[in-house]
Amino acid sequence: MLGVAYAQATGGSPAGMDWISMLPLIAMFVLLYFLLMRPQMKRAKEHRQLIAGLQKGDEVVTSGGTLGKITNVNDQYVRVEISAGVEIIVQKPSIQTVLPKGTIKSAA
């Protein structure tokens, strides 16, 4: 007949050691937040403010690189004059930059 087998007790770590082993993982997430996520959220907020502040007469650059002057602003679209008598309609989010007044004349 076989005897009773007892399981050997494991050598557990002290109570605080489990939290310390998670510290590098937590530090990695904090670093990821400050290096990647936070700057991206800041850029998105600045772009939303730029889009909200568009008005007639602003000189802009679209995401495609087209320079022009805004002639009309709607809720979703902007009419941009790219040459004398030539206007295009673009979506507001495609406006990348608002230029200082007179930039287009100095660039031409």
Q: What share of the chain is helix, strand, coil (3-state, %, to 5)?
A: 40, 25, 30
Per-residue burial over 2-17, b if 16 or more Cβ lie within 10 Å, else e, is eeeeeeeeeeeeeeee
Convert the pLDDT of each residue in 24-35 to its tens digit.
Answer: 999 999 999 999
Q: pTM here? A: 0.69
Q: 């557990």: which residue's tokens?
A: 12
pLDDT of 106 higher than 60: yes
- What pLDDT is attached to residue 7? 66
Mean pLDDT of 54-67: 94
Rg for the chain, CA atoms, rounded = 29
Higher pLDDT, 10 or 18: 18
Do 95 and 60 meet the contact criterion of CB atoms below 8 Å apart? yes
